Amino acid sequence: MRQHRWVILLVVTALVILVKVPVKADVLDKTMSIGGTTVHYKVVLPKNYDPGKTYPGVLGFGVGPQTMNVVDNVIARNFRDETEKRGYIVVVPAAPNDELFFEGGERIFPEFLKQILAAYKIRDNKFHIAGPSNGGIASFHVASLNPDYFLSITAFPGYLWEETPAHIQAISKMCINMFVGELDPMGWQPLMQKQAAEFRAKGMTATYTVEKGQPHRLDTLAGPNAGRLFDLFEQASHGCSK
């Protein structure tokens, strides 16, 4: 009986521990083949994900080399917690064959998006696109090449890599958000400020925000502050506000 009682106590204790562990958003490690190229990517699903329901979607990109390690970092830093809280689906691919998404890797689109839309129910079949640094540049570039798939662009930091009339026209209906650190050593502030002003002069909705005291890597949009990104996504879902 004593032994039986200890077993019961252990089971109850284990159940209590399980109850106290918060349910986190699922992060799935996936691959797909596009034109003979294997694309590695991760999908962040909200807690209690229901495949029959429709969710708002985000296509994210990482910094630097845009490898899977970078994908993991940007998910943990900028996307996972808010995906869990707000009920989003976030997809972050790694650069195929180490080609950045503005230096050849963009060739996987739009097929990559078509396959994602076939696998998951994304609201209105449109995504918000976002990323820091090279991820911000990639966001602008991919959106400008595939405008039918995107509602908003959020670069933190980042800018339009190919500033041609055709590329600008392609993103002209999207809500554009540009963030840069006050202390960014890369010197992107003048370029981003100028570009945002040019967008607004063309009647586009574009904001430019300097994050006080921040370097290139913006902590003010990460971790507990990542909600600011999702606030922008939700705002864009209801139309851009100038």
- pLDDT tens for 18-41 read 333 344 568 999 999 999 999 999
Write the pLDDT tens digit of every residue in 169-207: 999 999 999 999 999 999 999 999 999 999 999 999 999
Which of these, 111, 86, 149, 89, lies nearest to 33 by C-alpha position? Answer: 111
Q: How many CB atoms sit inside 10 A of residue 224's CB?
A: 8
Q: Is the pLDDT of residue 45 over 70?
A: yes
Percent of the chain residues past pLDDT 70, beyond the cut: 89
Distance from C-alpha of 218 to C-alpha of 230, rounded to nearest angstrom: 15
**Which whole number is the average pLDDT over 204-220?**
98
Nearest to 40 by CA among 71, 16, 63, 7: 71
Residue 146: phi, psi to the nearest 5? -135, 60
- Per-residue pLDDT, averaged over 138-161, amounts to 98
Query: Is residue 135 within a helix (H) or strand (E), and if so which, with residue range?
Result: helix 134-145
pLDDT-derived band at 240, boundaries 50, 70, 90: confident
* Prediction pTM value: 0.89
Distance CA 224, CA 228 (A): 9
Start-to-end C-alpha separation, the chain: 72
